[in-house]
Amino acid sequence: PSAVVKKLFMQGKVVTINQEIDFETAEEIALEFNCICEHEEVIDVIAELLKEEEEAADTLVTRPPVVCVMGHVDHGKTSLLDAIRETHVTSKESGGITQKIGAYRVDVNGNTITFLDTPGHEAFTAMRMRGAQATDIAILVVAADDGVMPQTIEAINHAKAANVEIIVAVNKIDKPNANIEKVKQELTEYGLIAEDWGGSTIFCPVSAHTKEGIDNLLEMILLTAEIIELKANPNRKARGIVIEAELDKGRGPVATVLVQKGTLRVGDSVAAGSCYGKVRAMIDDTGRRVKEAGPSTPVEIQGLNDVPNAGEIIMAMDSDKEARNVAETFIAENKKKLLDDTKHKVSLDALFEQ
Ligand code: GTP
Ligand code: MG
């Protein structure tokens, strides 16, 4: 508004911010601002795309829950995921492409659960920052012989900030010094109160070693998913989140993405943060080549022009040009933000100097 007022002032028209001007003047001004408008339009398009639009209820179908495993170092996150995978991954491709994808699906009595095997909290933090809901349920792993530790608390805070359901898996119950009750007592301090302690948090005692309690944990995940009613529209342009990405020597940039809405197809033009491209090939969590991936499906894609950051939102666009536009605007916006931040810092520094 101030720029418009200024422009009018330069033309000798003194106006206030809420004053009406005639059509011709408005048109003239609009034309003068045209180049900016175009840029702003793209930003508007991105903002619009990023907005969690309400979808008509009749387009939504039930989708599998997306679960991530969190907890303190050495409490058994990887062992627990391995134990689940050993017992519940149905299709194993022998001699297929090495399974390196950081996400996989398990089948529990005909129901699918998608697990995110994110290294550290990097991706999760990025997801949280963008307010994107990549995970529906967090499994908080606490070793029964060690109890609540600093990273346990950090994990609780991350999950709470992302508004994710928490299921506690009290692991290593096979150990002689395991103390499940102590873990329950310690977690009351963080608002995670077990049902037998008068709360509503699900606690599952498990052992990744003996596999005791694993089936119960999976059942609890499915039960929770049923209660929170997870739905998505598979019949729209895909939108998802980058779980991890790297530059592969032979294949170029490859990104593991979790499709959240819509269906991603080979041939789709996509934008992911500052990157764009056409999906050239897709590999699923078993190493098989697939043509399409629906909601809650993790896939590895090839065809991006560069390596996107974990946590970046990936969107299928109408055309290559549009995808490129979105990526370029993203870069421009980030640069501007960086510049603004620097300016801000400089002025703050100047302030402190005085
Ligand atoms: P980071 O990825 O380093 O944070 O560790 P993590 O949480 O993934 O733990 P990991 O699965 O690597 O297990 C740590 C150690 O605990 C290993 O020596 C496992 O063998 C052991 N462990 C994991 N689960 C169990 C269990 O149920 N019982 C017993 N006795 N040991 C376990
Ligand atoms: Mg681990």
Cα of 75 vs centre of ligand 1, distance in Å, is: 5
Q: Would you say 312 and 269 are in contact if contact means Cβ atoms under 8 Å apart?
A: no
pLDDT at 18: 76
DSSP secondary structure of 251-304? TEEEEEEEEEESBEETT-EEEETTEEEEEEEEE-TTS-EESEE-TTEEEEEEEE
Which residues does ligand 1 sit against, CB inside 6 Å? 71, 73-79, 171-172, 174-175, 207-209
DSSP structure class, residue 148: -
pLDDT at 98: 36
Calpha distance 168→181 (Å, rounded): 13
Alpha carbon separation from 47 to 11, 17, 196, 323 (Å, rounded)? 33, 25, 45, 14
66: tokens are: 């997306």
Residue 64 is which amino acid? P
Cα of 126 vs centre of ligand 1, distance in Å, is: 26
Below-70 pLDDT ranges, the chain: 33-54, 88-102, 117-133, 338-354
Interface confidence: ipTM more than 0.95: yes
Of 63, 112, 46, 107, the C-alpha closest to 234 is 63
pLDDT at 94: 41
Which ligand 1 atom is nearest residue 82's CA?
11
